[in-house]
């Protein structure tokens, strides 16, 4: 083992409390894609202890896996339902998010509760506004949650947020008169952080994803400190130290040539572990209290970094992503977003679960 992923469940709990603003009943957790690569079961159980009772997954299989450990949770499946999955959803008490008239027809035969997605401007999944009331009546749907998704909530003050909210409310208000217990679900992490929300008299369920896991939910250039803490930390172990002379080429393609005598550390993580190759020659690691430049290309299993000014030894662990090399900075340097970095973390990283005090909570491979 030369790569380690530490997941701070204490920081996760902190972020959940920040985003729910003291009202856990108003915020569901998005734990699709194995909780963005951090372990859906471990994450969901930790959030259950903080009062989270509702969870969103992408696929029925994810919901089945989660149900085994959370028998009393409300679990919504974002992909909805098909003829092939309807029996599985019923057997495991999973609620589909109905996204089309065809899905409504399939689920209407079950008389089971569901969520219904309204498309308010993403042209992704969901029904058009005019289709929602008649499809509910036609198939006798038991809809407890009307769901839509902000497309630009990470852009504070963008007028498209107001347009989407207006479209959602135009559908929600008439339905609410027929079904007073109906709830609305709009806000992702960005909307939760920035305060974009429906009117106060609407019972609303937020859906937090990236913010729970320590990523900045706001768009680049609109970063604001909302008090979220890093949850994921990636460490690599030093496999070897090398002294190189001026003019020495480093790594594949000899893309770095030493300008003087240097000491290099070869660290046992690479792009197979989720360290983006685009960090080659521009990213950093953190060791001995200092930021150390990555030298040359990141390879599949290893990377080089400058160790000239740090006191390190073979076997030491260095931070690749964490408190000092932030998830969002890594994503920016890799020309992507924090979501992709987290979900791309390699399965061979040894996963360790901890809390704020660094108390060991268990491991998972």
Q: What amino acid positions are annotated as catalytic residues?
A: 32, 252
Query: Distance between CA 353 and CA 6 in Å, rounded?
Result: 6
Residue 69: which of 85, 50, 48, 91 has the closest Cα? 48
Residue where the block lists tokens 């040894």: 350
Query: Distance between CA 260 and CA 234 in Å, rounded?
Result: 30
Query: Distance between CA 54 and CA 23 in Å, rounded?
Result: 13
Q: Label residue 220 left, alpha or beta by phi (over 0 means left) and psi (-120 to 50 means alpha).
A: beta
Question: Token digits for 151?
Answer: 């497309």
Query: Distance between CA 261 and CA 183 in Å, rounded?
Result: 65
Query: Distance between CA 334 and CA 271 in Å, rounded?
Result: 12
Question: Token digits for 14?
Answer: 């902190």
């Amino acid at each position: 083992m030369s790569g380690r992923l530490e997941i701070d469940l204490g920081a996760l709990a902190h972020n959940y409390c920040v985003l729910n603003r003291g009202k856990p009943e108003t915020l569901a957790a998005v734990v699709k894609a194995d909780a963005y690569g951090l372990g859906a079961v471990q994450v969901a159980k930790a959030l259950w202890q903080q009062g989270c009772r509702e969870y969103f997954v992408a696929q029925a299989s994810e919901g089945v896996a989660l149900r085994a450990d959370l028998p009393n949770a409300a679990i919504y499946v974002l992909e909805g339902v098909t003829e092939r999955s309807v029996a599985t959803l019923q057997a495991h008490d999973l609620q589909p998010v109905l996204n089309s008239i065809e899905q409504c027809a399939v689920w209407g035969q079950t008389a089971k509760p569901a969520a219904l997605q309204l498309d308010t401007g993403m042209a992704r999944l969901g029904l058009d506004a005019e289709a929602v009331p008649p499809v509910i009546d036609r198939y006798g749907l038991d809809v407890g949650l009307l769901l839509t998704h902000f497309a630009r909530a990470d852009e504070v003050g963008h007028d498209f947020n107001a347009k989407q909210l207006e479209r959602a409310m135009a559908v929600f208000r008439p339905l609410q008169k027929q079904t007073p217990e109906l709830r609305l679900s709009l806000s992702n992490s960005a909307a939760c952080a920035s305060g974009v929300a429906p009117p106060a008299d609407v019972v609303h369920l937020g859906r937090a994803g990236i913010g729970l896991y320590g990523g900045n939910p706001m768009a680049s250039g609109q970063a604001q400190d909302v008090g979220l803490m890093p949850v994921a930390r990636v460490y690599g172990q030093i496999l070897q130290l090398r002294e190189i002379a001026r003019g020495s080429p480093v790594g594949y393609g000899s893309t770095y040539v030493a300008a003087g005598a240097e000491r290099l550390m070869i660290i046992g993580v690479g792009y197979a572990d989720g360290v983006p190759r685009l960090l080659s020659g521009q990213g950093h690691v953190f060791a001995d209290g200092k930021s150390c430049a990555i030298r040359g290309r990141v390879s599949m299993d290893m990377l080089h970094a400058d160790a000239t000014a740090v006191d390190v030894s073979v076997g030491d662990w260095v931070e690749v992503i964490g408190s000092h090399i932030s998830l969002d900075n890594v994503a920016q340097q890799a020309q992507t977003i924090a979501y992709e970095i987290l979900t791309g973390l390699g399965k061979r990283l040894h996963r360790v679960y901890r809390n704020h005090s660094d108390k060991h909570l268990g491991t998972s491979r």
